[in-house]
Structures are given as C-alpha cells and as structure tokens.
Amino acid sequence: MPEPSTNPASSPAPASNQAANAASAANQTTVADVVAALEAAYPPHLAESWDAVGLICGDPAEPADKVAFALDCTDGVVEAAIAQGAQMLVVHHPLLLRGVTAVPANSPKGRIVHKLIRNGIALFAAHTNADSARPGVNDRLAELLGVTPGAPLRPIPSGTDKWGFTVPVNDAPTVKSAIFSAGGGAQGDYEQACFEFSVTGQFLPTEGANPHLGAVGEVETVEEVRIEFVAPAAKREAIRAALIKAHPYEEPAYDCVETSLPTPADQQLGIGRVGELDTPMTLREFTARVAERLPATEWGVRAAGDPDAMIHTVAVASGAGDSFLGQVARMDVDCFVTSDLRHHPVDEHLRMGGCPVIDTAHWASEFPWCFQAEGVIKKATKAQTTVIDVRTDPWTVHKK
C-alpha cells in the first residue's frame, strides 16, 4: 500500500485557508473596479470626439489595491508610482492622444509604456470627459478660487431631440445609414428607429445654385420621403454633420426640436463654469488669490485689464481656454480665469471691451482635480490611494 503523499502541492488547502483566500479576493480591488468607478464619475461619452480617454494599458482583471493620481504620465511620475508600489496610475492628460503605429522602448512614450507594463502598473486617463463632468475639473478649479460653479461655458445638450428631414426616395437609405451611424434613431433597447412617409418636394434653383436635381430658373418637383426620428441631444452636432454630408442636396432642409425641459444651469454638463465670487474684490486682489490658492509654478499667474476693476462674476476654464474669449466677451462676467493665453487674442479681447482675464499655468489649473479623482476611488473602492506630488509643468525658469 503506497504511503500517503507528503508533498504540500498535492494536499488540499485547509478549509480555513480557502476561506481566507476567498475573503481576500472579495476585498481586493481590481483595475476593472477602478475603471468602473472613474467612468461613472467621468462618463466617456462626455469626451470630445478627438480625445482618447479610458484604459490605456493594463489588464482589467489584475489587482489595483494601490492607485496613484497625477496630471501627466511623465517619466518622473512613473518612477514615483513604481517607488510607491502603485498598481494603477490615473492621469488627466492621455499619454497616447495622437495616433501611433508603434511604441518601441527607445521612444519617449514607448519607454513609458514598457516601464508601466514591466512593473505591473495599469494606466487610465480621464480628460475632456472629466472637464465636462459635474463635479469635474472645472468645478474643482472654481471652488478652489471661491467661485460658485454655475452654468458651463459650453453646455452639452441633454435630453432628447426630435428630427425630421426630406430626401429623394432613392437617396433615403444612404442618408438614414449615416444618421444611424452618428447616433440617431436610438430609443431604449432599439436602434435605427424612424418612421417615414411619401411627400412631394418643390424648389426653384436661383442664379448661383448647383442643384442635385433640376435646372437653374426652373421649378422642380421631386418625389421625396419625409423621415423622422429621435436622438440624444448630446449627439445633435454629430447628427447634423452626418445629415448634411450624406444628403445629396446642396442645402438640405431639416428640423430639430428639443423635447425635454431645460436642465437647471448648475446641473448642466460641459466645459467651463460661470459663477459668483464669494467676496467681491479688485482684479489685483483676485489675481493674488488665484496665485495663492493654485499650486506654485515658474510660470506664475498674470492678469490683463484694469487692476482696480471690481470682480463679482467669474468664468473659469481649466487648461487652454483662449477659444472661449469671444464667448466670454458677450457674457455678463467681470473676469475670465484660464491658461495658455496668447498675446494677440487677449489684446483683441480687451480692445473690444472684453472683461479682464487671468492667465495661469496649464498644469496649475488642472492639478487640483487629482484630489477630486482620488476621492472618487476612495469612496467607491477599498484601494489605497495617493496623489503623486511631481510638478509636471514644463516651465523651469522665470525671470521678471
């Protein structure tokens, strides 16, 4: 009779060990858990069309019991994450924002990707989706400066739109396909939903027209189909662009009606925030507050406008925001706080009677978000968290 095996590998684990392992697994946070929490807070669909958000590298099934946060994924940040034993790194700026065909280890970004993978660190980015979310990057910036985070500078439409357009019968399938691809016709568990009926269209091309059908100066009647559908309001611009591009007419007729009640301003999603300053003060005083409350950089903080102008209402846009100068000039605000401002746009803004502006370092206006994102993971998981205190602002010397 053979002797019982004494090889531990062949012996079943004691019931107490099995229970302990199961409990450990139940308490373990995975990369997928962190991703789910972050995407709930900063929904990916809020990201701009050009953006690249989400999980950049890493296995969703791997553990993420130690999560680090930073604004950028630089070599210094990755080295700090490794030193801290992080299993996941969450950043604001995507490492691979532009398309790449290779990530060799002897390239700047490839070097970082290889270093992350070799050290078992997953990488996740929440960028313009975190800018537009509520609360998000802009809410954190506004609150830090003592500004009530009200309406966005560029709201994202919410609710449902009802669309309608006409198109020649033979062209209807092509246009419908383009609209459905852009997000139209989605309702509940159904896609490509619409209804249509036959109509007769009429038009008179005038001098300068290039009609798809008919001739300049002659009334034309066409057998058309009227197509109606609903779509999320957030898809409005994408659907409009798809419709115009796919429609055979030079100037297609369409209508789009918002069917939902307006969202209160302080609940609207979108980039930027506008709100009241907690204590009215001069531009000089408010500039000093901005410099005091944002992380210090060599870039510093500078302002343009009358130093003695009183500031009551403030617009903020984290990161590069000079594209909003034209809009801010038309608004009833006393100051605009953003980053990466350029000479000519600011000069023209002031010449046209625009409000004073405050220019901060890009990194400084967004880095405070890291603590907000850390709070999301603290609340949603049992992971240990840390914000990496590495200044990734590229400017290193400032002389006045």
Q: Which CATH number goes with the domain that contains 376?
A: 3.40.1390.30
What six digits make up the tokens of 334? 């006393």
Element (H, E) at 181: helix 172-181
- Condensed to tens digits (0 to 9), the pLDDT of residues 278-328 reads 999 999 999 999 999 999 999 999 999 999 999 999 999 999 999 999 999
Establish if 1 belongs to a structural domain: no
287 and 382 inside one domain:
no
Annotated binding residues, written as ranges, equal 92-93, 131, 362, 366
223 and 91 inside one domain:
no
* Torsion 325-329-331-334 (CA) sign: positive
Establish if 173 belongs to a structural domain: yes
- Cα–Cα distances in Å, from 150 out to 134, 147, 224? 10, 9, 45
96 and 187 inside one domain:
no
Query: Residue 25: which pLDDT band, with cuts at 50, 70 and 90?
Result: low
- Condensed to tens digits (0 to 9), the pLDDT of residues 361-386 reads 999 999 999 999 999 999 999 999 99
Establish if 96 belongs to a structural domain: yes
Separation of alpha carbons 15 and 120, rounded Å: 31
Torsion angle of C-alpha atoms 232, 238, 240, 246, degrees rounded to 10: -120
Side-chain half-sphere CA neighbours of 14 within 13 A: 3
177 and 112 inside one domain:
no
Q: Inform me whether the pLDDT recorded for 1 exceeds 50.
A: no
Establish if 141 belongs to a structural domain: yes
- Condensed to tens digits (0 to 9), the pLDDT of residues 52-102 reads 999 999 999 999 999 999 999 999 999 999 999 999 999 999 999 988 889
Establish if 12 belongs to a structural domain: no
For residues 332 and 350, the answer to whether their CB atoms sit within 8 Å is no
SS3 sequence, 24-41?
Answer: HHHHCCEHHHHHHHHHHH
Side-chain half-sphere CA neighbours of 303 within 13 A: 22
For residues 127 and 95, the answer to whether their CB atoms sit within 8 Å is no
281 and 251 inside one domain:
no
Establish if 329 belongs to a structural domain: yes
What six digits make up the tokens of 104? 């060799």
Question: Which domain covers residue 246, as residue numbers?
Answer: 160-258
201 and 302 inside one domain:
no
Q: Inform me whether the pLDDT recorded for 15 exceeds 60.
A: no
What is the total count of domains within the chain?
3
pLDDT at 169: 95
Domain boundary among the residues 226, 258, 290 is at 258
Annotated binding residues for a divalent metal cation, written as ranges, equal 92-93, 131, 362, 366
- Condensed to tens digits (0 to 9), the pLDDT of residues 154-169 reads 998 888 999 999 999 9
Q: Inform me whether the pLDDT recorded for 5 exceeds 60.
A: no
212 and 298 inside one domain:
no
